[in-house]
């Protein structure tokens, strides 16, 4: 039994799953593709076939924090210029509403048309079919590889548990 003022330490369990890294901690379990870039705001970026073209979505952690999908809206039209950090829409979950930010400096290409029919894809397949938008340009220079993102995620979980 632990003292009332002493918190239990729940270390992360990280496993190499070939093309991805598995992560478990504090009831959170997710798989992160190694080839993706990640941001401190819990977005992922995956380079698609065309040069300098990126598909962007929320990480499984972000979607879990937002709760079940309610509504998703993007403001830019295909071809519009977007700036890094620019508010480009919003995403509403049962637990929270968040603004969507551009994590690419360049041109907005399109939103994910599949989300209009099934917004729950952001939850059921966050790193695949549940992507949010595509853009062409330069990704956030501060984006992280999977190991950098795991360090950020651990720090976030520590903060949420009051261990900052």
Per-residue pLDDT tens digits for 112-148: 999 989 988 998 999 999 999 999 999 999 999 999 9
Per-residue pLDDT tens digits for 11-49: 777 778 789 988 888 777 888 999 999 999 999 999 998
Report yes or no on 33 lying in a domain. Answer: yes
Q: Which two tokens stand for residue 51?
A: 């040069």
Per-residue pLDDT tens digits for 74-100: 999 999 999 999 999 998 888 878 899
- What whole-number percentage of the chain has pLDDT above 70? 93
Cα 3 to Cα 55: distance, rounded to the nearest angstrom: 47
Range of the domain at 51: 13-160
Q: What is the CATH number of the domain that holds 63?
A: 2.40.50.100
Report yes or no on 8 lying in a domain. Answer: no
User: pTM of this prediction?
Assistant: 0.86
Quick count: other Cβ atoms within 10 Å of Cβ 43?
A: 23
State the total domains in the chain.
1
Q: What's the pLDDT score for residue 52? A: 94
Higher pLDDT, 83 or 2: 83
Residues whose CB is less than 8 angstroms from the CB of residue 38 and which lie 6 or more positions away in sequence, other chains included: 32, 44, 45, 59, 143, 144, 145, 146, 148, 149, 152
Reported in sequence order, the residue ranges of the chain that DSSP labels E, i.e. its strands, are 13-16, 20-25, 28-33, 37-38, 43-47, 53-58, 69-74, 81-82, 87-93, 97-101, 104-111, 133-139
Report yes or no on 7 lying in a domain. Answer: no
pLDDT bin (cut points 50, 70, 90) of residue 9 is: low
Report yes or no on 125 lying in a domain. Answer: yes
Q: Which two tokens stand for residue 57?
A: 């979505």
Q: What's the pLDDT score for residue 163? A: 55
> Does residue 152 have a pLDDT over 80?
yes
Report yes or no on 1 lying in a domain. Answer: no
Task: Sort residue 147 into left (φ over 0), alpha (ψ -120 to 50) or beta.
Answer: alpha
> Does residue 160 have a pLDDT over 60?
yes
Higher pLDDT, 129 or 10: 129
The DSSP 8-state label assigned to residue 125 in this structure reads: S
Q: What's the pLDDT score for residue 74? A: 96
CA nearest neighbour of 41 among 125, 124, 144: 144
Report yes or no on 5 lying in a domain. Answer: no
CB 127, CB 57: distance < 8 Å: yes
Q: What's the pLDDT score for residue 161? A: 74
Residues 62-84: b if buried by 16+ CB within 10 A, e if exposed? bbbbbeebeebebebeeeeebeb
Higher pLDDT, 1 or 113: 113
Q: DSSP of 129-144, one letter per residue?
A: TT--EEEEEEEPTT-B
Report yes or no on 81 lying in a domain. Answer: yes
Q: What's the pLDDT score for residue 95? A: 81
Report yes or no on 4 lying in a domain. Answer: no
């Amino acid at each position: 039994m632990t003292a009332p003022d002493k918190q239990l330490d729940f270390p992360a369990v990280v496993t190499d799953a070939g093309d991805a890294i598995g992560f478990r901690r504090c009831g959170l379990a997710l798989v992160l593709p190694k080839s993706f870039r990640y941001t401190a705001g819990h977005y992922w970026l995956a380079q698609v076939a065309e040069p300098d073209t990126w598909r962007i979505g929320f990480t499984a952690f972000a979607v879990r924090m937002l709760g079940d999908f309610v509504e998703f809206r993007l403001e830019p039209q295909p071809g519009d210029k977007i700036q890094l950090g620019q508010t480009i829409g919003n995403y509403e979950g049962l637990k929270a509403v968040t603004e969507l930010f551009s994590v690419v400096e360049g041109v907005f290409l399109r939103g994910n048309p599949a989300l209009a029919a099934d917004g729950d894809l952001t939850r059921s397949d966050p790193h695949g079919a549940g992507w949010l938008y595509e853009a062409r340009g330069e990704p956030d220079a501060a984006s992280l590889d999977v190991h950098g993102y795991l360090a950020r995620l651990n720090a976030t979980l520590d903060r949420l548990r009051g261990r900052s």
